[in-house]
């Protein structure tokens, strides 16, 4: 019983710490316990409210797939160093993300490794 | 130092006296359209002008603790929680570029800019550049025939000692207070705002006889921020979320490129 209680508390604490700071909508649609990674090419970088999106294409086993990666708002991304020109179509990047639960290819951003090797996150200074 | 101590002691005595005085009018029948007590301060005790940022974890987590709901609304709340645990954003209208209004706007983790003048306190929320006005010039709420329901409602404020009290009525029924807590036109919010070393505390007491078993007391904490506010408009054509026939918010196809 006490073990279960501890586990619940630990889970709750983790959930609290990892809760997205930006919350436009609830993050329930993403599996925040999982982190996936894709190395691919930027198809489109949409730097607009309410959420910025990155579309990445990658070929796996001869099949091209498109990944839709959701980010927070440009307002908060701007405070974390992102700019409209941070990503360009054709850039080779590695994106880590929390996958959609419903099977949609893509998910919620964790970080992006730019062609220069620089790692961008959503961590903003407020 | 001794002076500071004495001053602290004096202000504590004054606060106690005010607290005692404040309980008297609360027991008397107050006019819901003009709930300002007779002992409200003649002038503002403090000026909230400045930029502030809601602190975590309250900001991202809706309102805590959970609402004391009546049995029927409790079923809606449980359904939302069950679906959320299964990965579905049910009744989450915050993803639809609609104005959030009071009190859901308070759950957004963006800076706010407060401008206080003699008549009113204006709060600009960076999130969707929403604006709220709290009238502090002694005016009452509009009567039932004149009150036009709005997302933010109608707010009047006054000071009781070191506390800014804000009374809000007239909120329309959209959206939920937080997903799964729908309210009626009888929603009434009283905020008690106090300065803290970091910023200010906003304690909210929500009442709605159709919804709650007893008043729901919750709070938001703010810290001073150097961040300037920015433009934020949520354009539906850039929004990749839609609510399905089942009431669940999902990512939909991105726009044609």
DSSP letter string, B133-192: EEE-SS--PPPTTTPPPBSS-EEEEEEETTEEEEEEE-B-S-S-SSTT----TT-EEEEE
Distance CA B131, CA B228 (A): 16
Number of domains in chain B: 1
DSSP code at position A63: E
Contact A19/B61, CB-based, under 8 Å? yes
Calculate how close chain A gets to B178, using CA atoms only, in Å: 11
Q: Do residues A79 and A126 touch, judged by C-beta distance below 8 A?
A: yes
Residue A14: predicted pLDDT: 35
Report long-range pairs for B229-233 (Cβ below 8 Å, ≥24 apart): B229/B51, B229/B111, B229/B112, B229/B113, B229/B124, B229/B126, B230/A75, B230/A78, B230/B126, B231/B129, B232/A49, B232/A73, B232/A75, B232/B110, B232/B126, B232/B127, B232/B128, B232/B129, B233/A49, B233/B128, B233/B129
Nearest C-alpha neighbor of B97 from the set B56, B131, B69, B127: B127
Contact B53/A24, CB-based, under 8 Å? no
The token pair that represents B249 in the structure block: 């918010």
How much is the ipTM here? 0.72
Calculate how close chain B gets to A108, using CA atoms only, in Å: 11
Contact A102/B249, CB-based, under 8 Å? no
Bond before B57 cis per omega within 30 degrees: yes
Q: Higher-confidence residue: B12 or A33? A: A33
Interface of B with A in 95-124 (CB under 8 A): 95, 97, 107-111
Mean pLDDT of A69-85: 93
Nearest C-alpha neighbor of B164 from the set B141, B193, B189, B137: B193
Q: Do residues A71 and A3 touch, judged by C-beta distance below 8 A?
A: no
Bond before A50 cis per omega within 30 degrees: yes
pLDDT at A125 over 80: no
The residues, any chain, with a CB within 8 Å of residue B130's CB and separated by 6 or more, are: B99, B100, B101, B105, B124, B151, B152
Contact B251/A20, CB-based, under 8 Å? no
Query: Strand A36-46 to strand B154-160: parallel, antiparallel, or no bridges (unpaired)?
Result: unpaired
Q: Higher-confidence residue: A111 or B95? A: A111
Q: Is the Cα dihedral B227, B231, B233, B239 positive or negative?
A: negative
- CA–centroid distance for B102 within its chain: 5
In this complex, the residue of B109, B232, B254 whose CB is nearest that of residue A23 is B109
Calculate how close chain B gets to A113, using CA atoms only, in Å: 23
Q: Does B51 touch chain A (CB under 8 A)?
A: no
Dihedral pair phi/psi, residue A51, rounded to 5°: -135, 145
Minimal-distance CA residue of chain A relative to B89: A28
Q: Does B56 touch chain A (CB under 8 A)?
A: yes
Average pLDDT, rounded, for chain A: 82
Q: Does B235 touch chain A (CB under 8 A)?
A: yes
Residues of B in contact with A16 (CB under 8 A): 57, 61
Question: What residues does each domain of chain A span?
Answer: 28-120
The residues, any chain, with a CB within 8 Å of residue B227's CB and separated by 6 or more, are: A79, A126, B51, B53, B111
CATH class of domain segment(s) A28-120: mainly beta
Residue B256: predicted pLDDT: 39
Contact B59/A21, CB-based, under 8 Å? yes
Calculate how close chain B gets to A95, using CA atoms only, in Å: 18
Give percent of chain A above pLDDT 70: 78
Residues of B in contact with A104 (CB under 8 A): 251
**Domain containing B215: what range?**
43-226
Nearest C-alpha neighbor of B158 from the set B171, B144, B139: B139
Residue B248: predicted pLDDT: 79
Domain membership flag for residue B19: no
Residue B1: predicted pLDDT: 40
Residue B2: predicted pLDDT: 45
In order along its 257 residues, chain B shows pLDDT tens digits of 444 444 545 455 455 444 444 444 445 578 999 999 999 999 999 999 999 999 866 556 689 899 999 999 999 999 989 988 888 888 777 777 889 999 999 988 899 999 999 999 999 999 999 999 999 999 999 999 999 999 999 999 999 999 999 999 999 998 899 889 999 999 999 999 999 999 999 999 999 999 999 999 999 999 999 999 999 988 877 777 777 778 777 776 544 34
Minimal-distance CA residue of chain A relative to B92: A25
Distance CA B252, CA B241 (A): 6
Cβ-count burial of A75 within 10 angstroms (0-12 exposed, 13-18 middle, 19+ buried)? buried
The token pair that represents B229 in the structure block: 């506010």
Calculate how close chain B gets to A53, using CA atoms only, in Å: 9
Domain membership flag for residue B1: no
In this complex, the residue of A16, A22, A29 whose CB is nearest that of residue B87 is A29
Residue B92: predicted pLDDT: 78
The token pair that represents B34 in the structure block: 């003009």
Residue A16: predicted pLDDT: 35
The angle at the Cα of A85, spanning B254 to A49, to the nearest 5 degrees, equals 45
Distance CA B240, CA B95 (A): 9
Residues of B in contact with A52 (CB under 8 A): none
How big is the A-B interface in CB pairs under 8 Å?
93
């Amino acid at each position: 019983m006490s073990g279960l209680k501890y586990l619940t508390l630990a889970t709750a604490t983790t959930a609290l710490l990892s809760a997205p700071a930006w919350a436009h909508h609830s993050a329930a649609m993403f599996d925040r316990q999982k982190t996936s990674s894709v190395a691919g090419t930027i198809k489109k970088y949409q730097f607009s409210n309410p959420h910025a999106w990155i579309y990445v294409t990658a070929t796996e086993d001869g099949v091209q797939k498109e990944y839709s990666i959701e980010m927070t708002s440009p307002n908060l991304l701007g405070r974390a160093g992102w700019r409209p020109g941070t990503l360009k179509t054709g850039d080779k990047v590695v994106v880590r993300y929390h996958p959609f639960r419903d099977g949609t290819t893509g998910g919620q951003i964790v970080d992006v490794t730019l062609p220069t090797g620089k790692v961008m996150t959503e961590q903003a200074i407020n | 130092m001794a002076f500071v101590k004495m001053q602290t002691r004096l202000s504590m005595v004054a606060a106690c006296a005010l607290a005692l005085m404040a309980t008297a009018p609360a027991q008397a029948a107050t006019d819901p359209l003009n709930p300002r007590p007779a002992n409200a301060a003649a002038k503002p005790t403090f000026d909230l002008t400045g930029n502030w940022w809601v602190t975590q974890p309250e900001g991202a987590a809706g309102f805590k603790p959970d609402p004391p709901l009546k049995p029927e609304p409790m079923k809606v709340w449980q359904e939302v929680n069950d679906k959320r645990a299964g990965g579905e954003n049910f009744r989450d209208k915050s993803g639809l570029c609609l104005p959030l209004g009071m009190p859901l706007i308070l759950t957004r983790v963006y800076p706010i800019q407060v401008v206080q003048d003699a008549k009113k306190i204006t709060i600009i929320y960076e999130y969707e550049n929403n604006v709220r006005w709290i009238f502090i010039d002694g005016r009452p709420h509009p009567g039932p025939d004149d009150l036009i329901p709005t997302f933010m409602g109608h707010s009047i404020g006054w000071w009781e000692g070191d506390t800014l009290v804000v009374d809000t009525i007239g909120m329309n029924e959209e959206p939920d207070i937080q997903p799964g807590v729908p309210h009626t036109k009888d929603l009434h919010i009283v905020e008690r705002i106090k300065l803290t070393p970091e910023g200010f505390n906003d304690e909210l007491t929500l009442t709605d006889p159709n919804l709650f078993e007893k008043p729901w007391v919750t709070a938001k904490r703010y810290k001073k921020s150097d961040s300037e506010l920015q433009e934020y408009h949520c354009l539906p054509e850039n929004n990749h979320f839609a609510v399905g026939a089942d009431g669940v918010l999902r990512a939909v196809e991105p726009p044609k490129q």
